[in-house]
Chain A
Amino acid sequence: DIVMTQSPLSLPVTPGEPASISCRSNQSLLYKNGYDYLNWYLQKPGQAPQLLISLASRRASGVPHRFSGSGSGTDFTLTISRLEAEDVGIYYCMQALETPLTFGGGTKVEIK
């Protein structure tokens, strides 16, 4: 199974400031089509996760432009350019290259 490792575990951020979350996999997520099969999700309290980013950098429909994904191979980053109060929750990365799908442990983003 592909192991996904996220950091940090917790991230207090002042509104309006940037936030960055790291995700690493223990093997490359690059598929033969040239895309990295790495997704980012936000889970708000009491809700199901919601897709933010697919294929490492493709923003999902309706996701604000302050969210961006970067990276390739085994090293990926989710960046929030200016944190808003509605962005609090737990962020998960997930590899979609193969089953079993595997998730990072999560990063809790909160308001400082």
Chain B
Amino acid sequence: QVQMVQSGAEVKKPGASVQISCKTSGFALNDYFMHWVRQAPGQGLEWMAIINPAGNSTSYAQKLQGRVSMSRDTSMHTVYLELTSLRSDDTAVYYCARDFGEGIDSWGQGTLVTVSS
């Protein structure tokens, strides 16, 4: 069945970078768009990034441009998110998610990133 298992929680200092991984199984990355979505504590859902099935095109939320990068390794069945110049308001649970053509149908379990001095 479709599964997405994300890397573990991270604690980072302001200004640092973080990379989160999302290992997929049960489907081929070449067949689906993939997204990253985040959720600050007690807040709603915020879309961050998308990568196309070919892996050669990405798009990012305007507010994150220049700090965010999404990539994938099909041989490892894994999608990655890197966020640089971390700030306290980047503290959130980060989710990878699969797009089945009608929007998101499956989500990873989430990765908590805490940014604190």
CB distance from B76 to the nearest CB of A (A): 22
Interface residues on chain A, size class: 20 to 34
Give A100's nearest chain B residue, CB to CB: B47
Interchain CB contact (< 8 A) of B103 among A37, A48, A50, A100: A37
CB distance from B72 to the nearest CB of A (A): 17
Given contacts A48-B107, A49-B107, contact A103 B45 (CB under 8 A): yes
**Complex contacts, B102 vs chain A, CB 8 Å:** 35, 37, 39, 54-55, 58, 96
Given contacts A37-B102, A103-B46, 15 further A-B contacts (CB under 8 A): A35-B102, A41-B104, A48-B108, A50-B107, A51-B104, A54-B102, A54-B103, A54-B105, A92-B44, A92-B45, A96-B99, A99-B59, A100-B47, A100-B62, A103-B44
Chain A residues proximal to chain B, CB less than 8 Å? 35, 37, 39, 41, 48-51, 54-55, 58, 60, 92, 94, 96, 99-106
